[in-house]
Amino acid sequence: MVKTLKYTLTLSISILISDIAISGINFNDRIEQYQLNNGLKIILINDDRSSTVMSSIWYKVGSSYEYEGVTGISHVLEHMMFKGTENTKPGEFSREIKKIGGTENAFTGKDFTGYYQKVHKDYIELCLKFESDRMTNLNLSKNDLKSEREVVKEERRLRTDDNPTAKIFEKISNQAFGMRGYGVPIVGTMKDLNKISVTDLKKWYLNYYAPNNAVLILAGDFNVIPKEIDVHNPESWTNDALFHEDTLKKFWSMMNLGLTDAYRSINGDKVEYTFFDYKRKTNFENNKGLRIDHFLLPPSMVDKLDKCYIDSKLRGLEKPSDHVPIVCEFKF
């Protein structure tokens, strides 16, 4: 028996995961997931309220993966990730982000270690370049470990040793779980922090910092008109961000990772649109629109795609959205 699944897209990025509510806005219809051939999972969250983009990569490792002898190693490695690679100098990533007016930081949790940047969308490629570099080419030296070890030890003093409430909570967790899993403090113990070596860090880095153990999340404005056929009167959109040369370069560099435009793969050069400006009612009646809502499929999903169509009749309803749904049906 062939099972058919149908997904409906009502905004510019398709949604295949559960509800997310941020700032009172439901993002469950603005999220799209992909997985590259190297195992890296990518989540796109479309948010066109701002021209900024948040890029964050989460590695599936944190203090709950640790054990007695290396407690705190995930957090120490988080600090060391800012110490440069074979291709960049220590602190260069941070300086470049600051230079373009962006912000960045990192965090260690029980289950994840994350790194994030908030920049103008024109610089998202720069963030991805740096993250890709330090995922594979990190420099780990004894001198850097010596200085960052002291920083982490001071964090422990401030957060736990000099904080009675935190100290009690740590003891309760240790009684409940022991010095393993969720009983391990994120910042580690002083005894283990003093013992962690460069060799320990290299093993931890090689074991957990890999594409198939990471999730990349990009949140921002991803609306784009891929080709002239996707817009009525393309000449009038040449200088618009949706159809600007720089936007298209970045869009196609992403597509060249191995993604397929589901609508075009099924419908060829058929002229249909997914967006009609609600301020101009005659645009829909005269088919003057844009195709800016897309299903971008990884190779593993292309051969399962059965149908892809735009349900434009919904635009003719009373008080409609200016976007219309694009629908994909898959056979598994």
131 and 178 housed in the same domain: yes
165 and 233 housed in the same domain: no
* Among 216, 250, 271, residue at a domain's last position: 216
| DSSP conformational letter for 147 | H
72 and 206 housed in the same domain: yes
Token look-up 């890029």 returns 55
Q: Where are the alpha helices (DSSP H) in 123-237?
A: 124-136, 142-156, 164-177, 190-195, 198-208
CA angle at 147 for the pair 179 and 129, rounded to the nearest 5°: 90
Domain that holds residue 242: 4-49+221-331
pLDDT of the chain, 332 residues: tens digit per residue: 344 444 333 333 332 322 333 334 454 556 778 888 889 998 888 777 777 888 999 999 999 999 999 999 999 999 999 999 999 999 999 999 999 999 999 999 999 999 999 998 878 889 999 999 999 999 999 999 999 999 999 999 999 999 999 999 999 998 899 889 999 999 999 999 999 999 999 999 999 999 999 998 877 666 799 999 999 999 999 888 889 888 888 888 878 878 889 999 999 999 999 988 877 777 888 889 999 988 888 887 888 899 999 998 888 888 777 888 888 898 87
Pairing of strands 214-220, 41-46: parallel
195 and 154 housed in the same domain: yes
117 and 163 housed in the same domain: yes
206 and 257 housed in the same domain: no
* 291, 270 Cβ separation under 8 angstroms: no
- Residues marked active site are found at 78
List of residues 6+ apart from 173 with CB closer than 8 A: 182, 183, 185
* pLDDT for 24: 43
205 and 245 housed in the same domain: no
Please count the structural domains in the chain: 2
Instruction: Note the pTM of the prediction, 2 decimals.
Output: 0.66
Residue 95 class from Cβ within 10 Å (0-12 exposed, 13-18 middle, 19+ buried)? exposed
* pLDDT for 296: 84
Long-range contacts of 231-237 (CB under 8 A, 24+ apart): 231/273, 231/289, 231/290, 231/291, 232/273, 232/287, 232/288, 232/289, 232/290, 233/288, 237/290
250 and 281 housed in the same domain: yes
